[in-house]
Chains A and B, each alone.
Chain A
């Protein structure tokens, strides 16, 4: 079984869970003997690819006069990006060809017909353009490689998946790691929503990372339930723990929020719960680690509640700093309003930190040894924090069972499930095409 897979990022160049998930899944699929050609918009050269064949979309030459691409070109010139859509902006890059298009030149007038696109990668301002260009390149890639099935991760790659499927006649699997509703609440970007819907409608099978996401796919996008299959994410086995774990320098207990400070992650509920706990507990500190568009508002709220001496903001944490943060935390809270899966509580549990997770998260479906609360139930959240800090049996239970539970949530299970899905769609596909 060979799969042509379209991703948007690959470790170490990741800004969210998508790259990590793709990495874990591809590794597990390799173990099942599945061949993978993994396409990303841009390769940096230091990706942890091992035996996976990584294809750099920026290296692909396409003839832009081809009629197949015309529909995409037409749209590139007028698609606007909602700037709130992607709060974690990276460096913007502008492309000569787009400028020329925007300045009114037609494709035919462009001097180069055969060209390569230099993708920025990441999530810049020209994201929607890159998504369209990616689709163009995908079609070319599909003609250059041999494979049985196409697998596209998240909306950014759906158009690429569709074009590759059209060009090759191979079945398409799309993977929902997050929906537009998870990212934006009710104020969704219609263009993104439309791409998601089109991708899922075109797909033979839609993989959802949780039952929560599966329900959204069915109810909000109107996708037929029969073709939506839940495959829970796994978690990578822990790397060698760094020997220099910091010792906590203060006696106070630490309760941590770690994630993007955006609507989706529910930071304000963490603050309200913290306030309630602080009324009763003198020796506790709260940490909000991460950055995002809601950060200024959160800082103002903490100040207004008069608890800034015991509530700390760290800004964005990366790599070892994340491990260090877990190392000094007594409680980890993930109050997400909407979390399709949510891998960070698993990382916390692996570091023996007890976790409180929102019931509105996919990971709540696979965890027993975690406290679960509705994200809006600030009282329950506060109570869970208090319980973990005051009743020693609780952290003790989590230490003895939590870590073991996480070790059982493996990518291998996800890999096997996805491989079965490939076999199923390839089988169905050959049957319909042979008729």
Chain B
């Protein structure tokens, strides 16, 4: 029996408002409330709500045999609460069926795992708590932002009590090995690893509507056949993708929803395949081999490395400046400042600063509110500079208050 593991990532960043240097020190908002609301409501209508409905229908039809898993970034959850509460309700309905597993991730969809262990832990704890609150269960599987993983991150995740983690089936790590087996971390063998089958996942996520693709149109029939034809020794085919694939990256007109509706039925019809969640797989399967990942991998681009977010001078400077503020921000104990600092950690901001795509920009332009990475950098740095100024002045105020107190005592 071969399993299919469906995992969908749900995330929306808080996009920044246009923030000029002369706005620093004024009450100019950091975040573009209008477009964040607009985008959230549009994606809710085009993707989250209809896709959730289809999944509910499928669970109704196939019962507990049909399983899916999700991870919702904290920033997406906050925006659901603010702009589209009906989406959260529909996720809660999915949770109530018992067929859906919700994974843990960093609250701010951040790259903290690469920079600050402390902040990483805090964000995971906040996320866990919220998951429990929303869906009644503490997550047991972890998924890091952008599927970023390395031996070191594996240890960190393991320390937080997670037994299973999702990452990319990067070719340069796997070599001849199949992504369709359970693996474990080389540095900490107790941590099991499920690897994304990027070819089959991207057939849906990226190529589904590509008319220049030789396999277009991709029917659920054909796709099920492909899965059937994977090696007989394979145990699990991990289809990991952005949930926004359904109705947003691939529009409804492409037939993506019909695909989603029909696909599970065809899998069951094949007779020798089923659907499992990561925690089920973790219980069922033993690791085939340890996986040594000395340098972080991710699910982005051909390189499957970090260069979409970090590596050019701007990304590195922004990233460094952001985490330089960590201890100062936290010392203020000002919930609002800490929240803003967290929003600025979303990987998306660094992605907008990437210069790799000057030659082949289309996919990335679609998700990018800036016309150039330089504009993205300047805007981000202006906001971050203002945050720095605010943190400094808070500190001074705090200091003044404390001195006032001691003087009063004396």
By a beta-carbon cutoff of 8 Å, the part of chain A in contact with chain B is 276, 279-280, 368-372, 379-380, 382-384, 386-387, 390-394, 396-397, 400-401
| Bound Cα distance A368, B312 (Å) | 15
* Alpha-carbon distance between A384 and B374 when the two chains are bound, in angstroms: 9
Please pick, from B22, B317, B374, B375, the residue contacting A276 in the complex, using a CB distance under 8 A.
B22
Contact A394 B358 (CB under 8 A): no
Contact among B313, B381, B385 with A397 in the assembled complex (CB-CB below 8 Å): B313
A280's partner among B22, B355, B378 (CB-CB below 8 A) is B22
B312 touches A397 (CB 8 A): yes
Nearest CB in chain A to that of B317: its residue:
A393
20 contacts between A and B (CB under 8 A): A279-B22, A368-B358, A368-B372, A371-B372, A379-B22, A383-B378, A384-B378, A386-B20, A387-B378, A390-B21, A390-B381, A391-B377, A391-B378, A392-B317, A393-B313, A393-B377, A394-B374, A394-B377, A397-B313, A397-B355
A396 touches B313 (CB 8 A): yes
Tell me the minimal C-beta distance from B372 to chain A in angstroms.
7
Chain B residues near A391 (CB-CB < 8 A): 314, 317, 377-378, 381
Known: A280-B21, A392-B317, A396-B313. A383 touches B374 (CB 8 A): no
**CB distance A400 to B21 under 8 Å?**
no
B272 to chain A, nearest CB (A): 51
A-B contacts besides A280-B21, A391-B378, A401-B355, 15 pairs, CB < 8 Å: A368-B372, A379-B22, A382-B20, A382-B22, A383-B21, A384-B378, A387-B381, A387-B382, A390-B381, A391-B317, A392-B317, A396-B313, A397-B312, A397-B313, A397-B314
Contacts of A280 in B (CB 8 A): 21-22, 24
A386, A392, A396 pick with most chain B CB within 10 angstroms: A386
Residues of chain A with a CB closer than 8 A to B327's CB: none
B407 interface hit (Cβ, 8 Å): no
Q: Considering the chains assembled together, what is the distance between the CA atoms of A279 and B22 in angstroms?
A: 8
Contact B382 A383, beta carbon cutoff 8 Å: yes
Interface residue tally on B, bucketed by range: 20 to 34
* Bound-complex Cα distance A392 to B314 (A): 8
Question: Is B371 in the interface zone, CB < 8 Å from A?
Answer: yes
Measured in the bound complex, the distance between the Cα atoms of B358 and A401 in whole Å is: 12
Task: Tell me the minimal C-beta distance from A391 to chain B in angstroms.
Answer: 5
Contact status B314-A379, CB under 8 Å: no
Chain B residues with Cβ below 8 Å from A384 are 378
Which residues of A have CB within 8 Å of B382? 383, 386-387
C-alpha spacing A371/B371, complex, angstroms: 10
B368 CB to closest chain A CB (Å) equals 14
Q: Is the CB of B21 within 8 A of A371?
A: no
Q: How far is the CB of B284 from chain A (nearest CB, A)?
A: 48
Given A372-B371, A372-B372; A394-B378 close (CB under 8 Å): yes
Which residues does chain B contribute within 8 Å of A392, judged by CB atoms? Answer: 317
Residues of A within 8 A of B202 (CB): none
Give 4 nearest A-B pairs by CB, closest first: A387-B378, A393-B317, A393-B313, A386-B21
Q: How far is the CB of A127 from chain B (nearest CB, A)?
A: 40
Q: How far is the CB of B47 from chain A (nearest CB, A)?
A: 32
The residues in B between 350 and 371 inclusive whose CB is less than 8 angstroms from any CB of A are 355, 358, 371
Q: CA–CA, A379 to B375, complex, Å?
A: 13
B22 touches A371 (CB 8 A): no
Tell me the smallest distance from the CB of A359 to a CB of chain B, in Å. 9
Could you list which residues of chain B lie within 8 angstroms of chain A, going by C-beta atoms?
Answer: 20-22, 24, 312-314, 316-318, 355, 358, 371-372, 374-375, 377-378, 381-382, 385
Q: Complex formed: what's the CA distance from A400 to B312 in Å?
A: 10
Pick from A280, A387, A393 the residue with the most CB of B within 10 Å.
A393
Residues of A within 8 A of B375 (CB): 371
The distance from the CB of A280 to the nearest CB of chain B, in whole angstroms, is 6
Instruction: Given A372-B371, A387-B377, A387-B381, check contact A382 B317 (CB 8 Å).
Output: no
Contacts of A401 in B (CB 8 A): 355
Min Cβ gap B26→A in Å is 12
Given A372-B371, A387-B378, A387-B381, do A393 and B314 touch, yes or no (CB 8 Å)? yes
Check if A383 sits within 8 Å of B317, measured CB to CB: no
Q: Which residue of A lies closest to B378 (CB)?
A: A387
In the complex, A393 Cα to B380 Cα: how many Å?
Answer: 13
Q: Which among B21, B24, B314, B371 is the interface contact of A394 at CB below 8 angstroms?
A: B314
Q: Within the complex, which residue of B21, B22, B24, B316 is in contact with A393, where a contact is CB–CB below 8 Å? A: B316
What is the minimal beta-carbon distance from B299 to any residue of chain A, in angstroms? Answer: 26
Q: Specify which of B312, B358, B374, B377 lies most central, judged by the most chain A CB atoms within 10 Å of its CB.
A: B374
How distant is B364 from chain A, measured CB to nearest CB, in Å?
13
Query: What residues on A are CB-neighbors of B22 within 8 Å?
Result: 276, 279-280, 379, 382-383
Contacts of A386 on B, CB cut-off 8 Å?
Answer: 20-21, 378, 382
Q: Which residue of chain B is the closest to A383 with respect to CB atoms? A: B20
Known A371-B374, A397-B355, A397-B374; contact A382-B316, beta-carbon cutoff 8 A: no
Taking CB atoms, residues of chain B closer than 8 Å to A369 are 374
- Please name all residues of chain A whose beta carbon is closer than 8 Å to the beta carbon of B318 when the two chains form the complex: 393
Q: Which residues of A contact B21 (CB under 8 A)?
A: 280, 382-383, 386-387, 390
**A66 nearest CB across to chain B (Å):** 56
Say how far A272's CB is from chain B's closest CB, in angstroms: 13
A279 and chain B: residue at smallest CB distance: B22
A392 to B313 Cα, complex, angstroms: 9
- Complex contacts, A382 vs chain B, CB 8 Å: 20-22
How far does the Cβ of B252 sit from chain A's closest Cβ, in whole Å? 34
Give Cα A370 to B381, complex, Å: 17
A384 to B372, CA, bound (A): 12
CA distance A384 to B20 in the complex (A): 9
Task: Flag if A379 contacts B20 (CB, 8 Å).
Answer: yes
Which A-chain residue is minimally distant from B358 (CB atoms)?
A: A368
Report B-chain residues with C-beta under 8 Å of the C-beta of A372: 371-372
For residue A378, give the distance in angstroms from its CB to the closest CB of chain B.
Answer: 10
B314: which A residues are within 8 A, CB to CB? 391, 393-394, 397
* Minimum Cβ distance to chain A for residue B357 (Å): 10
